[in-house]
Chains A and B, each alone.
Chain A
Amino acid sequence: MPDGERDEDLVRRAVSGDHSAFGILVERHERRVYNLALRMTGHEEDARDAAQEAFLTALRKLSSFRGEAAFTTWMHRVTVNTCYDLLRKRRRGPLLDRSEEHEPEPPAAPDHADATDLSIDVQRALLRVPPDYRIVMILHDVQDLPYDEVAAIVGVPVGTVKSRLHRGRVALARALRDRPERERHEPPGPSDQARSR
């Protein structure tokens, strides 16, 4: 049964000319890829572009996938690189600062209004965290990937992932509190200082 095939076997089939096998890979991974792009860019339109581009890039470069890492890891890496490229190109403000350019936020069902408000706040705060810190939080805290896989995706040592995770979380919580004056008066913590280790 094709859907039960391992990703790596599907890659082999696709590389050998059975492109429909790549379609199965897309179905399997589109949700993670799209959500990664959505959280990284903060905007649905950008996430659509990034997810499309990531899969098209993966299709073009599939023969370069050697199987040293899991396909999931490789696909995430392609997606992360695509998001960085897109963020560089866009150089635009975060989601809610662009409301004049785009459609308004989708209306929330009344029962879920509070939860939706909260997730919009979290997304907005996330965009105020620098991308290098944001990405490790998305991969680890949102997508539940282990430290070593995040390290493989981002291309940094595991220790760097851990320290970025801590700094990113602190920055996110501060952004959520939205208290810039207080931040300016706080003494520097470990997240504010250069580390020697």
Chain B
Amino acid sequence: MTHPEELLAGYVDGALTEEERAEVDAHLASCRVCREEMELSTQAVAALAELPEQPVPLGVMNPVAAEIRRRTAGAAPAPWWGRLQWAAGLAAAAALVAVVAVALPRLGEQEEGAALRAEAGGATPTESAPGADAALTGAVFLEIQPEADYSAEQLEALANDAAQRTEFGAPAPSAATVADAEAETAKACLAEPGGLMESDRLVRLIRATFDGKPAYLGVYLESPGADRPPNRVVIWVVATKDCRILSFSSKPL
């Protein structure tokens, strides 16, 4: 028996002409196999309709954006392009050249930072870009979160939180302690793989675990260019052991 296979999908979709439908109906009346397959096909279409459309994870298109910027500027690839590739498992970390100049004030300058903030005219956090306050002051301490184990999803939440926070210089959570000496190590570790750009500003520094691995998390504000306000929150996660990149997330401001 010849089965009208090219018509069966259209039959389920309701896309046949009357003549075609009559042809299939006549066939189905005498073909048990096709009747059963039509039932299966209908179930499959219903099941596929249940597949939800997923949002694009944060940061996925960063390499594309970086390539667009590179082409626009006619310059060499942004240093973190290679790092992203590495993070995505597309390139070996060995191929990266770490050229990092993170414009970060030294730690332990909280008081001086507070003075700077006062001199800045007492601008409220909501008047400046999120995190700009802390970035100005440099009052970024290492938050130690021994109980926290971050996942990729929680990184996104952290990025959202960072985007929404109006005062990054706020005291660390009560459970955290300050460890200035280690903070320098953490910053150097985050910078080591070479992904940071000069204009990236650190606004939050965390020691916790990521997927069970001891990690430093650095929350940065990224600007599209010098002297331009930040337009993106970027989070890098590196292993405390060897500064290997464990994850990355970003979110537009």
When C-beta atoms are compared, the residue in chain B nearest to A58 turns out to be B64
A49-B88, A122-B47, A176-B47 as given contacts; A197 in contact with B5, CB under 8 Å: yes
With both chains docked as a complex, state the minimum distance between the C-beta of A83 and any C-beta of chain B, in angstroms.
15
Evaluate contact between A166 and B8: CB separation under 8 angstroms: yes
Evaluate contact between A26 and B44: CB separation under 8 angstroms: no
Which of B10, B34, B50, B60 is the one whose CB lies under 8 Å from A190? B34
Which of A23, A35, A103, A197 is the one whose CB lies under 8 Å from B68? A23
Evaluate contact between B40 and A170: CB separation under 8 angstroms: yes
Total contacting residues, chain A, CB less than 8 A: 55
Evaluate contact between A173 and B54: CB separation under 8 angstroms: no
Inter-chain contacts of B7 with A (CB < 8 A): 162
Contact with B along A15-44 (1 / 0, CB 8 A): 000011011001000110011001100001
Inter-chain contacts of B49 with A (CB < 8 A): 141
Inter-chain contacts of A56 with B (CB < 8 A): 63-64, 67
When C-beta atoms are compared, the residue in chain A nearest to B65 turns out to be A23
Q: Is B53 an interface residue (CB 8 A)?
A: yes
A52-B63, A141-B48 as given contacts; A190 in contact with B33, CB under 8 Å: yes
With A115-B50, A162-B6, A163-B6 known, 12 other A-B pairs at CB within 8 A are A19-B68, A20-B68, A30-B60, A34-B54, A39-B51, A52-B88, A165-B9, A167-B5, A169-B40, A169-B41, A189-B34, A190-B33
Q: Is A113 an interface residue (CB 8 A)?
A: no
When C-beta atoms are compared, the residue in chain B nearest to A165 turns out to be B9
Q: Is A2 an interface residue (CB 8 A)?
A: no
Q: Is B12 an interface residue (CB 8 A)?
A: yes
With both chains docked as a complex, state the minimum distance between the C-beta of B204 and any C-beta of chain A, in angstroms.
23
A45, B151: Cα distance in complex, Å:
14
Contact with A along B36-77 (1 / 0, CB 8 A): 110011011101111111111100110111011001100000
Evaluate contact between B65 and A51: CB separation under 8 angstroms: no
Evaluate contact between A35 and B54: CB separation under 8 angstroms: yes
With both chains docked as a complex, state the minimum distance between the C-beta of A51 and any C-beta of chain B, in angstroms.
6
Q: Is A48 an interface residue (CB 8 A)?
A: yes
Inter-chain contacts of A95 with B (CB < 8 A): none
With both chains docked as a complex, state the minimum distance between the C-beta of B237 and any C-beta of chain A, in angstroms.
13
Which of A35, A39, A172, A197 is the one whose CB lies under 8 Å from B44? A172
Which of A26, A125, A190 is the one whose CB lies under 8 Å from B8? A190
When C-beta atoms are compared, the residue in chain A nearest to B1 turns out to be A190
Evaluate contact between A190 and B41: CB separation under 8 angstroms: no
Q: Is B107 an interface residue (CB 8 A)?
A: no
A170, B136: Cα distance in complex, Å:
62
Q: Is B89 an interface residue (CB 8 A)?
A: yes
Q: Is B3 an interface residue (CB 8 A)?
A: yes
Q: Is A137 an interface residue (CB 8 A)?
A: yes
